[in-house]
């Protein structure tokens, strides 16, 4: 897969974030009837299949691709490292909502885990000592930030560290369903 091929097969509108199939030349198919059938069913349609995690994907040459990654290739001519949806809406593929980031940068823009029990990312209750604790994983290391019997103190410590390190403002937000 390269930029030339993706531009031959699709059209992308950066303002809407939609990627659509173009009509394919019949020479791309083993049989003309297959090509005519494919074009009738697909040409002009939006790539809109959604995978189990909620990302839009498509299949090209018998391989599945997440559309936000294809968009990056389409626009920039190279495969991205990791694509972050800045606003957290993984179906919003407008170019202004996509950025190529490192794994660490992507984690700094994540919503709260569905497994979280405290309601705040990086904050947990230690039953054995009857205290709240704050921790942060950053650059592959886990750091203990502090603990207290007062949950709000620990939350403030965690939020201050997120701000100091440049986490996004929406980091740790609840999932909107």
CATH at residue 71:
3.90.75
Residue 159 CA to chain centroid, in angstroms? Answer: 23
Q: Does some domain include residue 174?
A: no
Q: Is residue 45 part of a domain?
A: yes
How far is residue 138's CA from residue 155's CA, in Å, rounded to a whole number? Answer: 17
Q: Are residues 90 and 118 in the same domain?
A: no
pLDDT confidence of residue 175: 60
- 152 phi/psi in degrees, rounded to 5: -65, -35
Q: What is the pLDDT of residue 109?
A: 84
Q: Which of 58, 62, 109, 59 has its CA nearest to residue 83?
A: 109
Tell me the H-state helices in the chain: 3-9, 32-42, 67-76, 103-107, 151-165
Indicate if 90 and 17 belong to the same structural domain.
Answer: yes
Same domain for 83 and 53: yes
Counted residue by residue, the chain has a size of 177
Are 95 and 23 found together in one domain? yes
pLDDT at 64: 95
Last residue of a domain, one of 69, 101, 133: 101
The answer as to whether 177 is a domain residue is: no
Are the beta carbons of 86 and 169 closer than 8 angstroms?
A: no
User: Tell me, what's the pLDDT at 65?
Assistant: 96
Query: Is the same domain home to 149 and 66?
Result: no
Beta-bridged to residue 13, according to DSSP, are: 18
Is the whole model's pTM more than 0.85, yes or no? Answer: no
Residues 9 and 95 in one domain: yes
Rounded to whole angstroms, the Cα distance separating 68 from 19 reads 9
Domain residue limits at 10: 3-101
Mean pLDDT, each 10-residue run in order, the chain (177 residues): 95 97 93 94 94 93 94 97 93 96 87 88 94 91 94 94 86 67
24/94 same-domain check: yes
Q: Can you give the pLDDT at residue 127?
A: 94
Cβ(120)–Cβ(155) under 8 Å?
A: yes
In-domain check, residue 173: no
Q: Let me know if residue 44 belongs to a domain.
A: yes
Cβ contact 109:168 at 8 Å: yes
CATH number at 117 reads 3.30.730
- Measured between its terminal Cα atoms, the distance across the chain in Å is 34
Last residue of a domain, one of 51, 80, 101: 101
The Cα–Cα gap between 42 and 24 comes to 9
Residue 110 pLDDT:
85
Q: How many domains does the chain have?
A: 2
How far apart are alpha carbons 81 and 65 in whole angstroms?
A: 14
């Amino acid at each position: 897969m390269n930029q030339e091929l993706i531009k031959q097969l699709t059209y992308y509108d950066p303002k809407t974030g939609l990627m659509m199939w173009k009509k394919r030349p019949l020479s791309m198919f083993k049989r003309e009837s297959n090509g005519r059938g494919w074009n009738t069913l697909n040409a002009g349609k939006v790539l809109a299949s959604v995978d189990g995690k909620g990302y839009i994907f498509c299949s090209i040459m018998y391989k599945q691709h997440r559309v936000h990654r294809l968009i990056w290739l389409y626009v920039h001519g190279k495969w991205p490292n990791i694509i972050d949806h800045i606003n957290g809406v993984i179906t919003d593929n407008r170019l202004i909502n996509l950025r190529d980031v490192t794994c660490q940068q992507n984690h700094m823009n994540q919503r709260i885990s569905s497994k979280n029990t405290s309601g705040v990312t990086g904050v947990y209750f230690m039953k054995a000592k009857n205290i709240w604790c704050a921790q942060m994983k950053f650059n592959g290391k886990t750091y203990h930030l502090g603990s207290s019997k007062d949950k709000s103190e620990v939350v403030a410590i965690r939020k201050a560290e997120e701000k100091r390190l440049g986490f996004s403002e929406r980091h740790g937000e609840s999932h909107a369903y």
